[in-house]
């Protein structure tokens, strides 16, 4: 038998207390003879002997009671070598090691990972020779090892190291629990050695705890260092909205996730390995800062951008890979008349011509109304009728069919246009009609103003650079001449812009699978001073983007720790993933919409990879979950509360440089049987016996 708290055995010295009391009561009284005492001479051989027996019996009971209470306080247990102890039976021992990047931190006891491996080795060392060890790790690819002997498990520890890959703590813990449960050994033990990073325990949801009721779970928390850590809180694309047509920006938010102020740090942006820009910054604890990077457009469909934080203490999360996928070029047909209205030129066409030269998002084809062939419409994503005086009937019907198939149309009238031809087109589509005329064209005398627009339509959402609670401030255009657009009660028709008197200025109507937008004014200054306002270019650029259904630039980013999935809008005959020169064949699922692929990606780290679908190559990037940068840890009570949703018996404790006391306690709890409660029970019985002897053993009475 051994003791967990042997220091309490010094309390056995208190056994001398009742013995001293007894010895002090042995003083012989002075003898004085009286004649009447002769009667008591006969008691010397009877009652006095009983009194001595009672005293010795009470002394023995009290002494034994003290001894048993002291032994109980010392926490005795039976080791495995004791023949009938439950711990002597073989055990299935699961050890899950946290090998996440945060385990690269260092405190006064050394690197976290070294502490974890040393502790795992000590746990294996105290295992029995017949015990089987199952090892696994939380991050990256699983070890996929069978149950091992002590020596084999000790050798495998040398192959475990931290990896900058996805975290699978919950899955690995439950997988290891299943392996331990299914093992033939009668005793089931499960160890988790971790730095208790709070985000790693995120998403734990209860399972049926009864299935693991016979598994003892012991969590050992290592590390107690304060760290300065800057990480990427968010990276997103902003494209073609606030800053003009064709502008592409990468919005980056950095946050100080550490415990100390960060000063004199740098963030750099690289494209194809070449430094483009660098900025310096400093961040207080818990604070964030936003950076905007201008992205030069190229002829390539994919732009690889690297964002690098320099000067940070922890480096595992200091690089972000941004695979920017440029949208497919959208073809837009711009139709106009050769003649101009009273010398006024369209301001829309010059704006589109500049956009056509400086960006590759849209491809514009400028034609006159006489050069339109209805068979050519199907090759365009949207059509703009800019100041066309008369729309032929054959073209009107073809345009409606074209729109119903999913394309878009923007109608900007001519001041001297044929309203009947406009309305025939609109009647075919059911998108409304032009009615009365207000004002005088080219007079420059305002008859109304544009109402300040409000968000709520895709064209207007986020077009203004403002906070959510800030009002829109806009120098609204003055209107000299405009058509009144018939108001429609159809739910599919909405007003995008209106006049201050509530007359629709630009409407949006759904026609079949496409959209048609009608403007009450044209694009030249004879109608209004709208063409010279800053709002003109971004509004019409976003309108064409909306009609052509341009998807915009996007980030092809995979978050480590999740399954990788991608969708291609065509049924590809062959799809494969290439990452670090390794060819991977993903799971494929074909549907009428296209091809969907999926791959677990558990072994992936941060970096680039390419998906090849037939003759099309798409660049992707893999990055850590932003939560990995949050280094705050859980308290022991919080760990126990979380894991008790999955397991019935959970205990968490701290581990340090000297774990001898912890290992001794674990050896008791897992490799032997604690029997202190036996001694408490014996002490209670002895105290009850002492009360019974004192009450019922009437040695003073004559029998």
Please tell me if the domain spanning 331-547 has the same topology as the one spanning 551-628. Answer: no
Examine the pLDDT at 96 and tell me if it is beyond 90. yes
Its CATH class, for the domain covering 551-628, is mainly beta
Calpha distance 340→416 (Å, rounded): 10
**What band does 31 get if pLDDT is binned at 50, 70 and 90?**
low
In this structure, which topology does domain 331-547 adopt according to CATH? Rossmann fold (3.40.50)
Task: Write down the pLDDT at residue 242.
Answer: 35
Task: Write down the pLDDT at residue 649.
Answer: 82
> CATH number of the domain at 91-224+631-671, please?
3.40.50.410
* In contact, 450 and 497? CB cutoff 8 Å: yes
User: How many angstroms separate the Cα of 703 from the Cα of each of 52, 85, 228, 555?
Assistant: 16, 49, 86, 103
In this structure, which topology does domain 228-295+305-313 adopt according to CATH? Immunoglobulin-like (2.60.40)
Task: Write down the pLDDT at residue 414.
Answer: 92
Phi, psi of 616 (to 5 degrees): -110, 130
C-alpha dihedral, 14 to 15 to 19 to 21, nearest 10°: 30
**What band does 701 get if pLDDT is binned at 50, 70 and 90?**
very low
C-alpha dihedral, 233 to 237 to 242 to 247, nearest 10°: 140
* In contact, 60 and 157? CB cutoff 8 Å: no
Task: Write down the pLDDT at residue 154.
Answer: 92
Q: What is the pLDDT of residues 487-534, one digit of tens each?
A: 766 657 889 999 999 999 999 998 888 899 999 999 999 999 999 998
Calpha distance 255→234 (Å, rounded): 9
Measured at the CA of 360, the angle between CA 357 and CA 363, to 5 degrees, comes to 75
Q: What is the pLDDT of residues 2-17, one digit of tens each?
A: 665 666 666 666 666 6
Q: What is the pLDDT of residues 380-406, one digit of tens each?
A: 989 999 999 999 988 998 999 889 888
The sheet with strand 587-591 has its strands ordered as 564-568, 594-599, 587-591
* In contact, 364 and 352? CB cutoff 8 Å: yes
* In contact, 557 and 623? CB cutoff 8 Å: yes
Question: What single DSSP character describes residue 241?
Answer: S
Calpha distance 432→94 (Å, rounded): 72
Task: Write down the pLDDT at residue 80.
Answer: 47
Measured at the CA of 573, the angle between CA 569 and CA 578, to 5 degrees, comes to 85
The residue ranges of every structural domain in the chain are 2-78+684-696, 91-224+631-671, 228-295+305-313, 331-547, 551-628
Could you tell me how far CA 158 lies from the centroid of its own chain? 31
Residue count of the chain, please give it.
703
> What is the SS3 assignment for 611?
strand
Measured at the CA of 144, the angle between CA 139 and CA 149, to 5 degrees, comes to 115
- Average pLDDT over all residues of the chain: 83
Calpha distance 52→56 (Å, rounded): 6
Q: What is the pLDDT of residues 54-89, one digit of tens each?
A: 777 777 887 888 888 888 777 676 654 444 444 456
């Amino acid at each position: 038998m051994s003791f967990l708290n042997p220091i309490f055995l010094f309390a056995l010295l208190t056994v001398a207390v009742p013995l001293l009391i007894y010895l002090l009561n042995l003083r012989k009284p002075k003898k004085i003879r009286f004649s009447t005492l002769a009667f008591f001479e006969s008691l010397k051989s009877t009652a006095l002997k009983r009194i001595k027996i009672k005293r010795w019996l009470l002394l023995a009971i009290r002494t034994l009671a003290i001894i048993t209470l002291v032994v109980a306080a010392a926490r005795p247990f039976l080791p495995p070598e004791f023949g009938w102890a439950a711990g002597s039976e073989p055990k299935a021992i699961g050890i899950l090691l946290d090998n996440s990047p945060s385990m690269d931190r260092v405190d006064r006891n050394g690197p976290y990972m070294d502490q974890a491996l040393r502790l795992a080795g000590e746990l294996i060392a105290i295992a029995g020779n017949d015990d089987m060890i199952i090892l696994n790790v939380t991050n990256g690819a699983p070890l996929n090892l069978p149950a091992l002997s002590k020596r084999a498990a000790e050798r495998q520890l040398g192959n475990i190291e931290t990896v900058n890959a996805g975290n699978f703590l919950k899955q690995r813990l439950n997988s290891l629990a299943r392996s331990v449960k299914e093992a033939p050994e009668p005793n089931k033990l499960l160890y988790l050695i971790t730095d208790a990073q709070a985000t790693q325990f995120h998403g734990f949801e209860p399972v049926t705890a009864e299935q693991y009721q016979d598994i003892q779970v012991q969590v050992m928390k290592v590390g107690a260092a304060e760290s300065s850590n800057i990480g990427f809180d968010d990276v997103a694309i902003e494209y073609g909205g606030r800053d003009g047509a064709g502008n592409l920006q990468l919005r980056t938010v950095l946050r100080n996730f550490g415990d100390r102020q960060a000063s004199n740090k740098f963030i750099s942006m690289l494209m194809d390995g070449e430094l483009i820009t660098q900025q310096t910054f400093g961040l207080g604890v818990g604070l964030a800062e936003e950076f905007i990077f201008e992205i030069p457009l190229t002829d390539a469909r994919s732009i690889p951008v690297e964002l690098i934080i320099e000067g940070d203490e922890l480096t595992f999360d200091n690089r972000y890979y941004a695979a920017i996928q440029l949208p497919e070029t959208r073809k837009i047909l711009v139709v106009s008349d050769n003649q101009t209205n009273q010398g006024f030129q369209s301001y829309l066409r010059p704006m589109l011509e500049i956009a056509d030269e400086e960006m590759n998002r849209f491809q514009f084809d400028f034609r006159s109304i006489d050069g339109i062939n209805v068979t050519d419409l199907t090759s365009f994503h949207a059509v703009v009728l800019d100041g066309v005086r008369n729309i032929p009937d054959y073209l009107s019907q073809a345009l409606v069919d074209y729109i119903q198939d999913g394309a878009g149309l923007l109608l900007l009238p001519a001041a001297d246009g044929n309203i009947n031809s406009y309305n025939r087109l609109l009647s075919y589509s059911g998108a409304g009609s032009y009615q009365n005329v207000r004002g005088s064209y080219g007079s420059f005398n305002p008859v109304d103003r544009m109402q300040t627009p409000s968000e709520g339509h895709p064209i207007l959402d986020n077009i203004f650079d403002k906070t959510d609670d800030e009002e829109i401030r806009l120098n609204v255009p003055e209107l000299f001449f405009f058509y009144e657009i018939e108001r429609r009660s159809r739910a599919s028709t909405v007003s995008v812009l209106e006049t201050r008197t509530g007359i629709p200025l630009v409407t949006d109507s759904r026609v079949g699978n496409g959209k048609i937008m009608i403007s009450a004014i044209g694009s030249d200054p004879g109608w209004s001073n709208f063409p010279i306002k800053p709002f003109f270019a971004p509004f019409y650029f976003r309108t064409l983007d909306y009609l052509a259904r341009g998807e915009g630039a996007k980030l092809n980013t995979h978050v480590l720790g999740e399954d990788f999935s991608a969708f291609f809008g065509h049924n590809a005959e062959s799809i494969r993933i290439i990452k670090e020169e390794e060819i991977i064949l993903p799971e494929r699922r074909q549907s009428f919409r296209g091809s969907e692929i999926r791959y677990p990606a558990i072994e992936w780290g941060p970096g680039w990879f390419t998906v090849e679908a037939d003759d099309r190559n798409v660049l992707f990037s893999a990055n850590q979950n932003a939560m990995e940068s949050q280094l705050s840890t859980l308290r022991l009570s919080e760990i126990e509360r979380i894991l008790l949703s999955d397991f019935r018996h959970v205990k968490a404790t701290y581990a340090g440089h000297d774990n001898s006391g912890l290992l001794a306690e674990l050896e008791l709890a897992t490799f032997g049987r604690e029997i202190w409660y036996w001694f408490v029970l014996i002490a209670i019985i002895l105290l009850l016996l002492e009360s019974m002897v004192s009450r019922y053993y009437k040695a003073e009475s004559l029998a």
